[in-house]
Amino acid sequence: MSTAIRTEGLGKKYRRRWALTDCTLDVPAGRVVGLVGPNGAGKSTLLNLAVGMLAPTDGSIEVLGGRPAQDAAQLAKVGFVAQDTPTYAGLSVADHLRMGARLNPGWDDTIARERIEHLGLDPKMKAGRLSGGQRAQLALTLGIAKRPELLILDEPVASLDPLARREFLQDLMGAVAEHGLSVVLSSHLVSDVERVCDYLIVLVDSRVRIADDMEALLASHHRLTGPRRDTSTLPADQQVISASHTDRQTTLLVRTDQPILDPSWTVSQPSLEDIVLAYLRGSTTSDTRPALEVLR
Ligand SMILES: Nc1ncnc2c1ncn2[C@@H]1O[C@H](COP(=O)(O)OP(=O)(O)OP(=O)(O)O)[C@@H](O)[C@H]1O
């Protein structure tokens, strides 16, 4: 199985502050990877390191087997749409497509023109006069028509209306199915990530908290509800992600690959959003201490 992104002890420091720390990942190719985390967690930093816009302070990163932006061949393999979906205000939509064709050896003009037509964008319109969402669609069109092996999108749907967001994600899935494209996209919308991604990375406080197959993640997390008890009495294999207690009852979100055998627990399946929120709300320093503990 080939690897889209491999990092080893990767870290990035801006002046005195670490934006990404000790990040070790092995993300398989051919997947749609969701990258989630709270504001300032380090998502854009990781994506900018992957495209070579930033250099690591620590550790290493390899993308599709090469060093980010090492040469023209590497640049051609990776498409990137940055968070602010940059376009050139003084250039028209058609100018952007012409520029895409000039700069990208694998450029697919048919995809580009069909997408612009489908979106109803006037090819003569200057990018500076497009709405924020239309500019985002133009930038995304350039990213898709470049026909990269790996498309990296930093919050691609943030400025799109709900229908445009749904259609864009469908287009993306189509490109993945048709061209075997790998995608890494950051988003604050867990429901979108759940709909299209089959691999999830969660970054919290500049550290990777989850990096796993979506199916494996859902299978290994459980909600346990039962009589109030101390989390330190749980079996060693059960990592407590969050815990809440009332006078008589305890509810836990635990991660384990083993079956839950204790009959005093009622076991249910948390949603992906429940799992992500439990990780986002706190940070653990040991295996058995909960990330989030609430007393009522
Ligand atoms: N150019 C920079 N100079 C100094 N600090 C920076 C710079 N870029 C980012 N940071 C800091 O690094 C940390 C991580 O920022 P980053 O943009 O990677 O987070 P993020 O997870 O993408 O956030 P968001 O969801 O808000 O876009 C933040 O604390 C941010 O203030």
Per-domain boundaries in the chain:
3-205, 220-295
The helix-helix angle for 162-179 and 132-145 (nearest 10°) equals 0
22 near 9, Cβ under 8 Å?
A: yes
Q: How far apart are CA 145 and CA 87, in angstroms?
A: 15
pLDDT score for 282: 57
pLDDT score for 1: 60
pLDDT score for 162: 87
pLDDT score for 233: 87
Q: Which of 18, 36, 43 should be mutated for ligand 1, with most atoms under 8 A from CB?
A: 43
pLDDT score for 217: 94
* pTM, 2 dp: 0.89
For residue 120, the 8-state DSSP code is T
Sign of CA dihedral 68, 70, 75, 76: negative
| Residue 207, beta-bridge partner list | 204
- pLDDT beneath 50: ranges in the chain: 283-296
Ligand 1 in reach of 34 Cβ (< 6 A): no
**Angle 126-129-132 (CA atoms, 0-180°, nearest 5)?**
115
Is 3-205 CATH 3.40.50.300? yes
CA of 284 to the centre of ligand 1 (A): 22
CA of 43 to the centre of ligand 1 (A): 8
pLDDT score for 294: 47
Ligand 1 in reach of 11 Cβ (< 6 A): no
Ligand 1 in reach of 14 Cβ (< 6 A): yes
Q: How far apart are CA 212 and CA 202, in angstroms?
A: 9
Beta strands 58-63 and 3-14 are antiparallel
Closest CA to 223 of 265, 262, 187, 264: 265
How many residues make up the chain in this entry?
296
pLDDT score for 289: 42
